[in-house]
Each structure stands twice: as structure tokens, then as C-alpha cells.
Amino acid sequence: MNKLLNEEVTNQVKEFLKPMKEAITFVLFTKSGECITCEETRALLNEVSALNDLISLVEKDLEINSDEASLFDVTLAPSFIILDKDGVYQGVKFNGIPAGHEINSFLTAVLDMSGLDYQLDPAIIERLSKIDKDVNIKVFVTLSCPHCPGAVSKAHRLAMLNSHVNAEMIEAQTFSALSQKYNVSGVPKIVINETHELTGNQPLEAFLDELERL
Amino acid sequence: MFNFDIETTKETTEFDTVQLWDFLIIGGGPAGLNAGLYAKRKGLKVGIIAVDIGGQLHNTTDVDNYLGFSLVQGKELSDSFLKHVTDLDVPILKQTRVTAISKFDAGFLVKTDKFQDFRTKTLLISTGGQPRKLRIPGEKEFANKGVSYCTICDAPFFKDKHVIVAGGGNSAAESVLDLVPWAKKITVVHRSQWRADKILLDKLDKLDNLDIHLQTQILEIIGDEKMTGLRVLDKTTNEERVISADGLFIEIGTVPNSKFVEGFVKMNDNNEILVDDQQMTSVEGVFAAGDITLQPYKQIIISAAEGAKAALAAMTYLNHK
Ligand SMILES: Cc1cc2nc3c(=O)[nH]c(=O)nc-3n(C[C@H](O)[C@H](O)[C@H](O)COP(=O)(O)OP(=O)(O)OC[C@H]3O[C@@H](n4cnc5c(N)ncnc54)[C@H](O)[C@@H]3O)c2cc1C
């Protein structure tokens, strides 16, 4: 396969990753047989991890490594999570390839996980720290959606800041059956614990309002 | 394949909170970016604060009316604008929303959602617009259950479906063209006559799965779990009927992002900011440019030009103060 990132994009990504502070690990789950975008996602993660010494990549097979998959609650392929410097899963997951506009939420998650301070309002952090129920946030996206990465990054930040919260991007076209199950016909669509829904790139306050209502 | 829109270390140039800026620009669309370019070249202490870079250029695929480019992607044009501005080291504060502006002795205080305030002698409001809503029953209920305001985002969900496009301007015509690869059938519903460019209408003429209902007003969006159709009024016969469809793309223009300056500068009834022939608003030292102004032709080249004009006028204003 040809390289996914051309020279210009490679340099851009390298530049983006410069402020990284701590080591992080991608754990990628693919599967053999038919798998839409498994190859491309593997190439993306390989090429990106080669651009900064602080990134390592571990590859797993969804079926063969089913123990690890269930440890991180991975049920789809391709799917990957980002572990922090201590190898701890902070609830940051991508299902499907974060290409197109979603490259932004991908690189944002990398920087955030590697210890960058994202300067949230203390009032928001205070509200978030009080959430003590388990929360799963699904953010459905398409790769041509300019408003989607903002929603994904917010969900991921909530996950990184509260250990009860995990958040996942779901690329709606790759996982069309899942999108249908959740009646996705517009993105970003945010589903919280299966029952609560938000649409559009909402401010963090709107996420918190829903989390507090759970 | 990749659409970058986040800050690089290079772009996060010191966005000074202490200094008194000469010219602060609010908005990173064509108007704001061009104003940044012109102001920097004049030697002004200029900075740009924006929620995102490119503004509405992100909502469109093809642009074919910007002088010098026969056909260019909205995103690509925005990238080239940004590069031109960052090559000149204009500081840009991204992902930041301005929430209020007030006056103080030496100029203006700009408040943001990042809990940082900035002080400036003059400023430009170039915050553009966002999609206008129909304001009819069912619109809210079926939002993202068939009703969409972003064709490039949501078109893939309507593969082999029948979709309706509401509107009669260029963005409606472009929405139709963006839906062609996906939808089985497309119907345009518009309350008056086409306002779109002939060159776009000629492209629509070639489509065989397109139905057009002009002089037709949408009264209600109907459905149960999801939208199933529209109730419309045919204004020529004064008869109501129902058009069944799986989706509705609303492309009826924009509403100005001017709420944060309500009461601060004068606006018309459409909440567009009033400006004089120097792009100056009702408040001396405060300029406005682009889709946010009362200027009726909402176009990239016009917005960019107004941004340039505002920067030059701000320079003149500062010199004569
Ligand atoms: C679907 C579609 C297709 C189009 N196609 C064409 C075309 O082919 N040719 C053409 O000439 N024109 C086209 N247009 C119109 C064109 O996009 C606009 O005229 C142009 O983008 C307006 O530029 P602007 O800088 O005034 O505002 P915008 O592009 O709307 O930019 C506004 C900027 O302000 C920022 N902002 C908003 N509020 C705040 C705030 N409170 N604080 C900080 N920042 C803020 C936004 O993030 C953004 O950066 C199209 C528009 C649409 C929607």
C-alpha cells in the first residue's frame, strides 16, 4: 500500500505533535477477513506513530485477542484506544478511521493525552468531578463534517478528566448498521448511556447538563 | 483526505493579553482573514480571535466564482487564505468565542469564553452567519431525524433515498449537486423563483432525478419517529398537498452571528450590522465586514473585500485620532 500521508501532510502532523509531553500508546484492534478501513487505519496509526518518539503502537486482533478487546470494551474493527504514559485507559476510543475532518479530533486526543493542559474553566471541572455514575458517550460522525471533531474532542476531554466517563467516536458510514440502530441521519449525533441524546457541536455545559440528568 | 483545522505550535503565536492592540478582528472567515492581511501589512498591532478558521467556507464543497480560481474546494481556499495570513505572522487565537464587547477610555474591551479579556483601540466584527431556519412546525422535532442544515455532513445518510432541498439561491443549487452522488431522487421546494446563478441552474437542468417546485411554501414537516414528508402550499393554485420524502436539507440563507453585539452597535431588522461607506458601525472605531453587515450579496469575494476595506479604514481612523 502507498503511504497514506503525503510529504506535506506528514510535515503538518509532525508540527502538530511537537508540543507532546508524555509518552502515549495506541492500541489498535483490526480483524482478518472483510474489514472496511482496517488497512487504512493501520497505515494511519503506523505513519503517525513514526512521527514522534513519544508514540508507540500495539496491534491486536479483535477475535484472537478477545480478552484485551473486552478489557477495553472494544467490539468493532477497526477501533483503537489511546493509553496514557502509565498505560492506563482513560476512556478515549475511536471506532473507524479518523481521516477527513476527524484528523483534528485524533491529533487533539493525542496532544491532550500526552499531558497538554487544555485550560478548561474551573467551574466546568468542578461540575464534572461530581459525576460518579458510569457514563458512555458515543459521538457519531462523518468524515466530511466540519463540526464533528469539536464534539468528539469535548467528549474525549470529559473522559480524560473523569474516570467514570468513557467516550468514543463512531464513523457512521463504516458502521452503518450501528448508525441505523441509533437512528443517525445527521451528525454529530451524541448518544449518552443509550438513553440521552444531543445533536450538533454543543458546548461542554450542554454535555454536563445531560450527564447530571442521568 | 485530511482536513486540518487545529492549532500548530507555529500558529499559537503569543496572543498577548496585556498589550493594547491597534486592531482586533473577531471572526476567521474570508472577511476577518483578509482584514488581518491588510492590517498587518500596514504595520498595525493586529490579531484575530475566531471560533474556527474559514467560517462558512467549510460548509461548501466547490467554489467557482472566486476570481483567479475556476474551481476550488471551500476548504482549500480557506487553507490558502490562512497560509497567506500566518506567513505574515498575524497572531490567531482559535477555538475562542467572543462573548461581549464594551467600551473603555482607551478603546474597547473584548470578552471571550476562555475567560481572557483583550483590549484594543479599534476592532472589526466579521462573525458572518449561520444557517437560517424555516421556523415551521416539525423543524425542531425532526432535526437530525431527516432535517439537516449541512449537506456535506449528512448527505451519506440519504443513500438511495428521496430528499428535498428547501431554498432557491446558490447554496440550495449547490446542495442539490452535493446530493447527486447519494440520493435516488431530489426535489427542490422554494417559495418564490430561483435566485441561483444561471451557470448552476444549467447544471441542474442536466439532472434527470430532480423535481422542482417553485412558488411553493413549506408549511410543516411531518413524520412520526423520523420525518416522512412535507405539507406544502402551492402558491399559484393556493392548494395544499403533501410531498413524501426521507430528508430535508434547509438551504435558505444565513442569519447573522450578531447576538453578542446586540445593543452595542446599530443593526437592521434582520440583525445585520449597519455600516457606512468606510465599514464603520454606529460606534466610532468599531468596524464590521462580510456577511454580518447589511450588504445583501453574501459572497466570499465581497466579504474579503470588505475586510480589506475595514482594515484600511481602521488605519486611517487611527492616524487621524
Ligand atoms: C453552503 C454554502 C455555499 C456557499 N458557496 C459560496 C460560493 O460558491 N461562492 C461564494 O462567493 N460564496 C459562497 N457562500 C457564501 C460565503 O461562504 C460567505 O459569503 C462568506 O463565507 C462570508 O464570510 P465572512 O468572513 O463574512 O463570514 P463567515 O465565513 O461566516 O465566517 C465567520 C467567522 O466568524 C467566526 N465567529 C462567529 N461568531 C464568533 C464569535 N462570537 N467569536 C469569535 N468568532 C466568531 C466563525 O468561527 C468564522 O470564523 C456559500 C455559503 C454557504 C453556506
* Enclosing H/E stretch for A204: helix A204-213
Report chain A residues whose CB lies below 8 A from the CB of B153. 142, 144-148, 186-187
Is B165 a domain residue?
yes
Q: What pLDDT shows up at residue B6?
A: 67
Average pLDDT, chain A: 94
Render pLDDT for B107-128 as a digit per residue (tens, 0 to 9): 999 999 877 889 999 999 999 9
What is the share, in percent, of chain B residues with pLDDT greater than 70? 97
B120 in the same domain as B16: yes
Nine-digit cell at B248?
Answer: 430535508
Report chain A residues whose CB lies below 8 A from the CB of B139. none
Mutate to test the interface with A, among B2, B76, B95, B178 (most CBs of A within 10 A): B2
Provide the pLDDT confidence category of residue B12 given band limits of 50, 70 and 90.
very low
Q: Along chain A (214 residues), what's the average pLDDT of each consecutive run of 10 residues?
A: 86 92 97 93 97 97 96 97 97 97 94 84 89 97 91 95 97 96 94 91 88 92
Q: What is the CATH number of domain A122-213?
A: 3.40.30.10
**Annotation marks residue B153 as catalytic:** yes
Angle value at C-alpha A56, between A50 and A60, nearest 5 degrees: 110
Is B5 a domain residue?
no
Task: Say yes or no for a CB contact (<8 Å) between B4 and A104.
Answer: yes
Per DSSP, the residues of B215-247 read SEEEEEEEESSSEEEEEEEETTTTEEEEEE-SE
Report chain B residues whose CB lies below 8 A from the CB of A108. 6
Task: Say yes or no for a CB contact (<8 Å) between B156 and A107.
Answer: no
B157 in the same domain as B16: no
Residue among A15, A100, A183 minimizing CB distance to B3: A100
Least Cα distance to A206 among A127, A98, A107, A96 occurs for A127
Q: Which of B5, B52, B79, B150 is catalytic?
A: B150
Residue B197 has pLDDT above 70, yes or no: yes
Q: What amino acid is encoded at B120 in this protein?
A: T
Render pLDDT for B220-274 as a digit per residue (tens, 0 to 9): 999 999 999 999 999 999 999 999 999 999 999 999 999 999 999 999 999 999 9
Report chain A residues whose CB lies below 8 A from the CB of B223. none
Residue B57 has pLDDT above 80, yes or no: yes
Residue B305 has pLDDT above 70, yes or no: yes
Nine-digit cell at B15?
Answer: 496572543
Is B140 a domain residue?
no
d(CA A153, ligand 1 centre) in Å:
23
Could you tell me which chain A residue has the CA closest to the CA of B149? Answer: A186
N-terminal to C-terminal alpha carbon distance within chain A: 46
Looking up residue B106, the CATH number of its domain turns out to be: 3.50.50.60
Residue among A100, A142, A185 minimizing CB distance to B226: A185
Domain extents in chain A: 7-113, 122-213
Q: Which of B62, B87, B117, B153 is catalytic?
A: B153
B270 in the same domain as B126: yes
| Domain assignment of residue B218, given as a range | 147-250
Calpha distance A42→A16 (Å, rounded): 20
Report chain A residues whose CB lies below 8 A from the CB of B247. 185
Map residue A118 onto helix, strand or coil. coil
Q: Are B43 and B142 in contact (CB under 8 A)?
A: no
Is B137 a domain residue?
no
Task: Say yes or no for a CB contact (<8 Å) between A100 and B1.
Answer: yes
Least Cα distance to A104 among A16, A32, A193, A165 occurs for A16
Residue B5 has pLDDT above 80, yes or no: no
Q: What pLDDT shows up at residue B14?
A: 63
Q: What amino acid is encoded at A22 in this protein?
A: E
Report chain A residues whose CB lies below 8 A from the CB of B76. none
Least Cα distance to B27 among B266, B297, B249, B273 occurs for B273
B127 in the same domain as B20: yes
Q: How close, in Å, is residue A63 to chain B by CA atoms?
A: 29
Mean pLDDT of B84-90: 95
Determine phi and psi for B199, rounding to 5 degrees.
Answer: -60, -30
Q: How close, in Å, is residue A71 to chain B by CA atoms?
A: 31
Residue B9 has pLDDT above 60, yes or no: no
B190 in the same domain as B224: yes
Q: What pLDDT shows up at residue A153?
A: 94
> Between helices B198-205 and B170-179, what is the axis angle to 10°?
30
Measured from CB, residues less than 6 Å from any atom of ligand 1 are B 26-32, 49-52, 55-57, 59-60, 63, 65, 97-98, 126-129, 170-171, 174, 257, 260, 290-292, 298-301, 303
Q: What pLDDT shows up at residue A75?
A: 96
Q: Are B188 and B210 in contact (CB under 8 A)?
A: yes
Residue B7 has pLDDT above 80, yes or no: no
What is the share, in percent, of chain B residues with pLDDT greater than 90? 85
Q: What residues does A30 pair with on adjacent strands?
A: A61
d(CA A151, ligand 1 centre) in Å:
20
B123 in the same domain as B20: yes
User: Which residue CA neighbors atom 21 of ligand 1 most closely?
Assistant: B56
Map residue A92 onto helix, strand or coil. strand
Least Cα distance to B131 among B225, B228, B60, B198 occurs for B60
Mean pLDDT of B74-102: 92
Q: What pLDDT shows up at residue B181?
A: 96
Calpha distance A133→A193 (Å, rounded): 10
Most confident of B27-31, B140-144, B317-321: B27-31
Q: What pLDDT shows up at residue B317?
A: 97
Calpha distance B270→A86 (Å, rounded): 55
pTM: 0.87
Q: Are B219 and B233 in contact (CB under 8 A)?
A: yes
d(CA A98, ligand 1 centre) in Å:
25
Is B2 a domain residue?
no
Q: Pick the residue with more confidence: B60 or A31?
A: A31
Q: What pLDDT shows up at residue B221?
A: 98
Is B4 a domain residue?
no
Q: What pLDDT shows up at residue A60?
A: 97
Q: What is the CATH number of domain A7-113?
A: 3.40.30.10
Q: Are B274 and B267 in contact (CB under 8 A)?
A: yes
Residue among B2, B10, B150 minimizing CB distance to A15: B10
Could you tell me which chain B residue has the CA closest to the CA of A199? Answer: B144
Handedness of CA B127, B43, B266, B99 (dihedral sign): positive
State the DSSP code for B283: S
Could you tell me which chain B residue has the CA closest to the CA of A98? Answer: B2
Task: Say yes or no for a CB contact (<8 Å) between B2 and A99.
Answer: yes
Calpha distance B109→B120 (Å, rounded): 7
Residue among A12, A15, A145 minimizing CB distance to B153: A145
What ipTM, to 2 d.p.?
0.87
Q: Are B311 and B318 in contact (CB under 8 A)?
A: no
**Annotation marks residue B154 as catalytic:** yes
Is B141 a domain residue?
no
Residue B11 has pLDDT above 60, yes or no: no
Please compute, for residue B164, the number of CA atoms within 13 A of its CA located in the half-sphere on the CB side. Answer: 28
Calpha distance B4→B52 (Å, rounded): 11
Least Cα distance to A168 among A82, A63, A88 occurs for A82
The tally of domains found in chain B comes to 2
Q: What pLDDT shows up at residue B193?
A: 97
Q: What pLDDT shows up at residue A201?
A: 79
What is each CA distance from B107 to A108, B38, B103, B312, B319, in whole angstroms? 36, 21, 6, 18, 15
Is any Cβ of chain B less than 8 angstroms from the Cβ of A130?
no
Q: How close, in Å, is residue A49 to chain B by CA atoms?
A: 17
User: Which residue CA neighbors atom 14 of ligand 1 most closely?
Assistant: B299
Is B292 a domain residue?
yes
Mutate to test the interface with B, among A14, A18, A144 (most CBs of B within 10 A): A144
B127 in the same domain as B15: yes
Calpha distance B25→B47 (Å, rounded): 6
Least Cα distance to A90 among A44, A158, A171, A20 occurs for A158
Q: Are A55 and A49 in contact (CB under 8 A)?
A: yes
Calpha distance A74→A19 (Å, rounded): 29
**Annotation marks residue B113 as catalytic:** no
Render pLDDT for B156-180 as a digit per residue (tens, 0 to 9): 999 999 999 999 999 999 999 999 9
Chosen domain end from B232, B250, B268: B250
B261 in the same domain as B211: no
